[in-house]
Amino acid sequence: MTSAPQTSGSNNAGKSRDKNAFAPQIQVFEPHRASLPPLIPYLREFWRRRVFASELAKFTDKAEYLDSKLGKVWLVLNPLLLAMIYYLLVTVLKGGKHNNGITTLAHILIGLFTFYFAQTCITSGAQSITSGGRLILNQAFPRALLPYSSSISAFQQFLPTIPVYIFVIIIGKLMYPATQVPGITWHFIWVPFIVALVGITGFGLALAFATMNVYFRDTNKLLQYFMRIWLYLSPILWQPEMLHGWHRAVLYLNPLGPTLSATSHIWIDGLAPNLAEWIGMLSWALLSIVLGGYFFISRERDFAVRI
């Protein structure tokens, strides 16, 4: 370690920081412009403390639902009831001749559950920094762990909705034996991948909005309207097949469009995602995690000053 004066931000400073960051004992804190800290040590620290994120998710859920036994039930009941309302709305608007009513319900249900997974990642992740006050002021750790924890929590809330979906469909099939439901096919092995891509997309967007929320405290409020509009623009209350020609751009310009389309195809038709859906899903996941991550990590050292 040289003690020669270094101009901040020079190559020299960058190098010495890199070198030291690998020796966990010596840490150097220097001024930063809006630039990335050394990424490899950052990610390693992030990975090393990932248990913190999952425990935080567990404990926060515990604290939140400690008092009400119904708490966890509400998490499932809420989207379920909403789905019923939307279902009634859609079938009434269509004029009542719903020969494939259960299919429509299935499409709305699984779409809404998936969308809510992403929405919870984004909205609670967006608040995680501004509401993390004391933790952020008093402990140094990779801040991305907080939105990550929100995503874990969102995933844990999403999981029980799958059996609920299956249950509702089985009931529907029993009541209307004519309904088309897919049997068990191999294509269901794609489901975890799709869910993971939803999670990654949601986490990436959460990183972006969490950063924005530090600078503009009303981001959260705007986000609520934004999510509502996003819901209507997504193929949940309507079928992706309704779009033709260049209108299909609406589907692929939506970060969740390809995923929701693929989800519906798998769960309802038992079909694997097509190539366009794969490309769409992977691109959106990659784009949001890279851009959101860059935006967040390059600014996170600023958070403590602005909270």
Partner 1 sequence: MPDDLAIRIEDLSIKYKINVDTKRTLKNAVMRASKGERVRMRTVEAVKHLTLDVPHGSVLGIVGANGAGKSTLMRSIAGILPPTEGRIIVNGKISTLLALGVGFNPALSGRDNIILGGLASGLSREEIESKTDQIAEFADLPDGFIDMPVRTYSSGMYGRVAFSVAVNMTPDILLLDEALSAGDASFKEKSFTRMRELCEEARTIVIVSHALATISELCDTAIWMHKGNMLAKGKPEEIVDQYLKFLDVGTLPSNFEDM
Which lies closer to partner 1 via its Cβ, residue 26 or residue 189?
A: 26
State the DSSP H helix or E strand holding residue 296, giving kind and residue range, or none if neither. helix 275-299
Closest CA to 303 of 90, 152, 131: 131
Residues 60-119 that bind partner 1 (CB under 8 A): 60, 62-64, 66
Is residue 51 close enough to count as binding partner 1 by CB under 8 A?
yes
Residue 151 vs 259, nearer CB to partner 1: 151
Interface with partner 1 (CB under 8 A), residue from 99, 138, 177, 186 = 138
Q: Does 277 bind partner 1 (CB under 8 A)?
A: no
What residues contact 102, with CB distance under 8 A and at least 6 apart?
A: 169, 172, 173, 175, 176, 179, 181
Q: Which of 53, 24, 56 is nearest to 40 (CA)?
A: 24
Query: What is the smallest separation between the CB atom of 79 and partner 1, expressed in angstroms?
Result: 25
Query: For residues 45 and 277, which CB has a smaller minimum distance to partner 1 in the complex?
Result: 45
Under a CB-based contact definition with an 8 Å cutoff, are residues 134 and 279 in contact?
no
Identified binder of partner 1 from the candidate list 84, 100, 141, 182, rule CB under 8 A = 141
Quick one: residue 28, left, alpha or beta (phi over 0 = left, psi -120 to 50 = alpha)? beta
Decide if residue 179 touches partner 1 (CB under 8 A): no
Angstrom CA distances, 110 to 96, 166, 243, stand at 22, 10, 20
3-state secondary structure of 146: helix
Stretch that binds partner 1, among 108-116, 121-129, 132-140, 161-169 (CB under 8 A): 132-140
Give residues in contact with partner 1 (CB under 8 A).
1, 3, 5-6, 8, 25-32, 45, 48-49, 51-52, 55-56, 59-60, 62-64, 66, 132-141, 145, 215-219, 222, 301-302, 304-306
